[in-house]
Amino acid sequence: MEHETAPIKPIAYKYGLYSALASIIVLVIMYVASMDKSWILSSISFVVGVLILIYGIKEYKLNNANVLSVGQAVKVGLAIAVIGGVITAIYSYVHYEFIYPEFIEMQKETAYQQMTEQNPNMTQEQVDQAMEISGMFMSSGFFSLMSIIGSLVFGLIVSLVAGLIMRSDR
């Protein structure tokens, strides 16, 4: 006798929201504490992200009569990653566009300094052209897009590994 597969949506919404909240909290902490880069915060965020995906997949497995295929794990993980990534991307856009627009300018200034230090023979025209190109990649829209793509890649890798470990037959 076959059982119906459990729905993914409720788990994706629940854990996707958890994932987004964790990412937003890290971004806010970094902003409030004036920390542009923190390996400790990044490590904690990574571990929390992995745990959220694992618990989401585990809950799906429990709701699915303790049955889980690798494909189902990947579907659940990617669904969680999409929800979390989209919410995080929306907040990221608002954050870098309106709350902390100086961050983008600081990144552009850092890129300019590195470029002129590493390539002292570049003409000002070449530097301006390179900065124009790199400016396309230093915008709140681009950061938001990378947030979604990063979330999907992370979700795919973690859910694939989790699915291989937690899979079970009918």
- Residue pair 140/93 in contact (Cβ under 8 Å)? The answer is yes
Q: What is the pTM of this model?
A: 0.88
- pLDDT > 70: what percent of the chain? 98
Give me the pLDDT at residue 144, please.
Answer: 94
Give the integer Cα–Cα distance in Å for 73 and 164. 8
Q: How many CA atoms lie within 13 A of 31 on its CB side?
A: 16
The residue type of 44 is: I
Give me the pLDDT at residue 134, please.
Answer: 85
133 pLDDT above the threshold of 90: no
Angle between helices 70-94 and 9-32 (to 10 degrees): 40
Mean pLDDT of the region 59-88: 97
Mean pLDDT, rounded, of the chain: 92
CA dihedral 71, 74, 76, 77 (to 10 degrees): 170
Mean pLDDT of the region 130-148: 89
| 125 vs 50: which has the higher pLDDT | 50
State the pLDDT confidence band at 1, using cuts at 50, 70 and 90: very low
- Residue pair 49/22 in contact (Cβ under 8 Å)? The answer is yes
- Residue pair 103/38 in contact (Cβ under 8 Å)? The answer is no
State the pLDDT confidence band at 2, using cuts at 50, 70 and 90: low
pLDDT digit string (tens) for 12-29? 999 999 999 999 999 999
State whether the Cα torsion 118-121-124-128 is positive or negative.
Answer: negative
State the pLDDT confidence band at 123, using cuts at 50, 70 and 90: confident
Give me the pLDDT at residue 82, please.
Answer: 98
Give the integer Cα–Cα distance in Å for 45 and 59. 21
Mean pLDDT of the region 24-48: 90
